């Protein structure tokens, strides 16, 4: 691997789930750098002159993005525009965290970098527009699409994995078995970004752990490792009102960058970030 000065990398959204794995450079959260404040973003970036900006901040509340399109637009479109123009002003490589939701969700197999985006939701459309902004505004960029990210441990994991683990005190849990995705460890995502920066890579990359799964597969893998007596009951997505409108397929594969299998990554995540907590809370 070639060397890269990660001290000179600025990140936005560093207090978030994926951002918690950024342990280098100039880490910013909303209190340090509000991405909606164009002047502040430009001034901050010109002052620090980073070699790269890892842009993680955005609208990530999936319910709110569909109920309030302006929330999604402001953060994902206007916020990304502000960061991208600042990156370009100092010649930094712009790294954008994008999503499997730029696709329509109907493909039979995993989506590759060659597939054409066709977003179906406000969130997906704003992520796709943010990709177009980055690709047209910056000379050097990495668009790193990912999906079904897990990470952050008990303090930050309030998404699917954290919600499932919160139910591990019971005897059984229900989990959807008719929607597929590529589960991805946030730590592996950041490791991949570092590797791409070292290589001087440019363009669009699918950064997801290898393989695909349903949520029932994930719950079963979690139970097998942490509490084998727990029964996982597979249900169709129509069983949960909150699953309305979710894409049937969010699995991804890269023609350009290979990651370890999701089972290996998930096992490490549970072992290192959850087991001590679950034991201490007497949940397992």
Ligand X SMILES: NC(=O)c1ccc[n+]([C@@H]2O[C@H](COP(=O)([O-])OP(=O)(O)OC[C@H]3O[C@@H](n4cnc5c(N)ncnc54)[C@H](OP(=O)(O)O)[C@@H]3O)[C@@H](O)[C@H]2O)c1
Q: Which residues bind ligand X (CB under 6 A)?
A: 12-13, 15-19, 29-30, 34-36, 56-58, 60, 75, 79, 97, 99, 146-149
In the complex, the smallest distance separating the C-beta of residue 182 from ligand X, rounded to whole angstroms, is 10
In the complex, the smallest distance separating the C-beta of residue 25 from ligand X, rounded to whole angstroms, is 16
End-to-end CA distance of the chain: 41
The residue among 81 and 230 lying less far from ligand X, judged by its C-beta, is: 81
Parallel/antiparallel/unpaired status of strands 180-181 and 213-214 = antiparallel
The residue among 160 and 230 lying less far from ligand X, judged by its C-beta, is: 160
The residue among 24 and 284 lying less far from ligand X, judged by its C-beta, is: 24
- Rounded to the nearest 10°, the torsion over CA 33, 34, 37, 42 is 30
The residue among 38 and 166 lying less far from ligand X, judged by its C-beta, is: 38
Q: What are residue 22's phi and psi, to 5 degrees?
A: -85, 105
In the complex, the smallest distance separating the C-beta of residue 35 from ligand X, rounded to whole angstroms, is 4
What are the b/e assignments for 198-207, b being 16+ CB within 10 Å? eeebeebbbb
d(CA 176, CA 232): 10
In the complex, the smallest distance separating the C-beta of residue 34 from ligand X, rounded to whole angstroms, is 4
Q: What are residue 110's phi and psi, to 5 degrees?
A: -65, 145
The residue among 17 and 179 lying less far from ligand X, judged by its C-beta, is: 17
In the complex, the smallest distance separating the C-beta of residue 215 from ligand X, rounded to whole angstroms, is 13
Of all residues in the shown chain, the one whose CB is closest to ligand X is 16
Q: What are residue 198's phi and psi, to 5 degrees?
A: -60, -40
Contact 180, 249 (CB under 8 A): yes
């Amino acid at each position: 691997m070639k060397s890269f000065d990660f001290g000179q990398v600025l990140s936005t959204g560093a207090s978030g789930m994926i951002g918690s794995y950024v342990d280098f450079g100039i880490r910013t959260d909303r209190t340090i750098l509000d991405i909606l404040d164009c002047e502040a973003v430009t001034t901050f970036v010109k002052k620090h002159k980073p070699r790269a900006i890892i842009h993680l901040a955005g609208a990530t509340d999936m319910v709110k993005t569909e109920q309030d399109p302006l929330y999604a637009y402001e953060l994902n479109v206007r916020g990304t525009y502000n960061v991208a123009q600042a990156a370009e002003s100092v010649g930094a490589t712009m790294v954008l965290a994008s999503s499997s939701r730029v696709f329509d969700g109907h493909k039979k197999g995993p989506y590759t970098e060659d597939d054409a985006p066709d977003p179906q939701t406000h969130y997906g459309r704003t992520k796709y527009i943010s990709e177009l902004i980055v690709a047209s505004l910056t000379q050097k960029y990495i668009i790193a699409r990912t999906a079904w990210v897990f990470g952050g441990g008990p303090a930050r994991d309030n998404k699917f994995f954290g919600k499932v683990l919160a139910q591990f005190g019971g005897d059984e849990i229900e989990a959807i078995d008719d929607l597929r995705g590529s589960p991805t460890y946030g730590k592996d995502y950041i490791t991949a970004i570092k590797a791409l920066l070292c290589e001087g890579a440019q363009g669009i990359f699918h950064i997801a752990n290898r393989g695909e799964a349903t949520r029932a597969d994930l719950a079963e893998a979690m139970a097998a490792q942490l509490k084998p007596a727990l029964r996982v009951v597979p249900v169709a997505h129509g069983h949960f009102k909150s699953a309305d409108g979710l894409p049937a397929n969010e699995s991804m594969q890269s023609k350009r960058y290979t990651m370890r299998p999701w089972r290996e990554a998930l096992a490490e995540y549970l072992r290192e970030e959850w087991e001590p907590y679950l034991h201490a809370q007497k949940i397992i």
